[in-house]
């Protein structure tokens, strides 16, 4: 017996709140990216710093990535439709994958420019303007990261998490750029400015690798974390009438955890009684994970193996209800209590 959870079209309140918070923070992220591009473009024109140029390139890609996240969180919040019965939650992972590709491209560009400047150093002029712009950029980026951290507690959004990781890496990279600008402008060591740009390139590459892994996991249907799987099993087995859980499968689709499993019940239960037990189990899971999408199949305890397919068109007469098959008629292993048997 399968008992699906509530229809996806009627999402619980907490999930709606998470979607609204994600939309707000993505709007802010786009605005910050535009502001930083304007500031850094002015600083590059005034100073000619390769480190600031590296940061400007990164901010330009930040804007593209933030726009991808902006649209992805709105797509992911769309309810299931005829062609996407499991919803659109993986749009967030797809946006994170796009972000990773853009960061890789940024790292290659900045690294190439920095290597050229190491062999052909150029002086940094108007260091005061460049330094001031980088200080302002650091302050703005730090404020955005702080707000994204708060939003993540509400949303749990992979796209927002990827955007936050990107801007957190930018925060550290901007500090390196600031050191490079000060060294090139005030210490008359332009090679340090180019070296700072190279450090930024390495930093970006490393961040892209981590973001790529985070994006790949939901796209490849990686199971939910072990702690979440164990919590689901404990919730189901809290009812002593459920003697075992097996074939547990989980995956994440955006902010929704998909849960499927088989449970062992007394074979003498009526269909209505078994249905009630399964619904209660679903409600206990939903109390822990309000946005979960749950599918539970009830197995008669001790008889969980699938019967062989009939080789003829004749359908055998069912056994009388008053004479159920003996418990040992189809030998099977004892029902497992563990979550992944």
**C-beta of residue 5 within 8 angstroms of C-beta of residue 295:** yes
| Confidence class for position 262, pLDDT limits 50, 70, 90 | very high
Q: How many helices (H) and strands (E) does the chain have?
A: 8, 4
**C-beta of residue 206 within 8 angstroms of C-beta of residue 176:** no
| Confidence class for position 197, pLDDT limits 50, 70, 90 | confident
Q: Is the pLDDT of residue 48 over 80?
A: no
**138 or 175: which leads in pLDDT:** 138
Looking at residue 83, what is its pLDDT? 77
User: Hey, which of 174-183, 210-219, 291-300, 304-313 has the most confident mean pLDDT?
Assistant: 291-300
CB-side neighbour CA atoms (13 Å) of 105: 13
Q: Is the pLDDT of residue 250 over 90?
A: yes
**194 or 122: which leads in pLDDT:** 194
Distance CA 126, CA 209 (A): 35
Q: Is the pLDDT of residue 310 over 70?
A: no
Can you read off the two tokens belonging to residue 77?
């919040």
Strand partners, 244: 264
Radius of gyration of the chain (CA): 28
**C-beta of residue 216 within 8 angstroms of C-beta of residue 97:** yes
Distance CA 221, CA 218 (A): 5
Looking at residue 127, what is its pLDDT? 63
Looking at residue 340, what is its pLDDT? 39
| Crossing angle of the two packed helices 13-47 and 127-155, in degrees rounded to 10 | 170
Looking at residue 69, what is its pLDDT? 79
Residues in the chain: 341
Can you read off the two tokens belonging to residue 271?
């269909």
Looking at residue 322, what is its pLDDT? 39
**C-beta of residue 136 within 8 angstroms of C-beta of residue 110:** no
Looking at residue 123, what is its pLDDT? 61
Q: Which residues contact 320 (CB under 8 A, 6 or more apart)?
A: none
- Please report the sign of the dihedral spanned by the C-alpha atoms of residue 151, residue 156, residue 162, residue 166: positive
Question: What whole-number percentage of the chain has pLDDT above 90?
Answer: 18
CB-side neighbour CA atoms (13 Å) of 244: 18
Instruction: Tell me which residue has tokens 């290659």.
Output: 108
Can you read off the two tokens belonging to residue 297?
């199949």
Looking at residue 70, what is its pLDDT? 81
DSSP notation for 34-84: HHHHHHHHHHHHHH--HHHHHHHHHHHHHHHHHHHHHHHHHHHTSPP-SS-
Task: Read off the pTM.
Answer: 0.56
Q: Is the pLDDT of residue 333 over 70?
A: no
Can you read off the two tokens belonging to residue 244?
């075992």
Looking at residue 252, what is its pLDDT? 83
What is the widest separation between alpha-carbon atoms in the chain?
A: 96
Question: In what helix (H) or strand (E) does residue 287 lie, and over which residues does it extend?
Answer: helix 271-288
Looking at residue 160, what is its pLDDT? 76
């Amino acid at each position: 017996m399968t008992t699906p959870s509530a229809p996806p079209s009627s999402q619980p309140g907490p999930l709606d709140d998470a979607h609204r918070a994600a939309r707000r923070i993505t709007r802010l992220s786009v605005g910050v990216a535009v502001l930083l591009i304007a500031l850094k473009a002015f600083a590059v024109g005034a100073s000619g710093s390769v480190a600031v140029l590296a940061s400007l390139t990164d901010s330009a890609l930040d804007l593209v990535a933030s726009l991808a996240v902006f649209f992805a969180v709105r797509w992911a919040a769309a309810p299931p439709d005829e062609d996407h019965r499991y919803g659109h939650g993986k749009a967030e992972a797809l946006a994170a994958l796009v972000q990773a590709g853009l960061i890789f491209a940024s790292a290659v560009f900045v690294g190439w420019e920095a290597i050229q400047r190491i062999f052909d150093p150029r002086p940094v002029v108007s260091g005061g303007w460049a330094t001031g712009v980088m200080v302002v950029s650091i302050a703005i980026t730090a404020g955005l990261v702080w707000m994204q951290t708060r939003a993540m507690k509400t949303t749990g959004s992979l796209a927002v998490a990827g955007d936050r990781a990107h801007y957190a890496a930018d925060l550290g990279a901007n500090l390196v750029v600031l050191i490079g600008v000060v060294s090139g402008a005030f210490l008359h060591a332009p090679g340090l400015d180019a070296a700072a740009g190279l450090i930024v390139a390495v930093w970006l590459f490393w961040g892209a690798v981590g973001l790529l892994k985070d994006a790949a996991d939901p796209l490849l249907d990686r199971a939910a974390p072990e702690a979440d799987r164990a919590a689901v099993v404990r919730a189901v087995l809290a009812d002593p009438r459920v003697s075992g859980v097996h074939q547990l499968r989980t995956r994440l689709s955006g902010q929704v955890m998909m849960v499927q499993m088989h449970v062992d019940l007394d074979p003498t239960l009526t269909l209505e009684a078994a249905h009630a037990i399964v619904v209660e189990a679903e409600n206990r899971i939903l109390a822990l994970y309000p946005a979960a999408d749950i599918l539970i199949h009830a197995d008669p305890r001790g008889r969980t193996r699938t019967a062989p397919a009939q080789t003829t068109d004749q359908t055998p007469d069912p056994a009388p209800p008053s004479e159920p098959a003996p418990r040992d008629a189809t030998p099977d292993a004892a029902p497992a209590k563990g979550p992944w048997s």
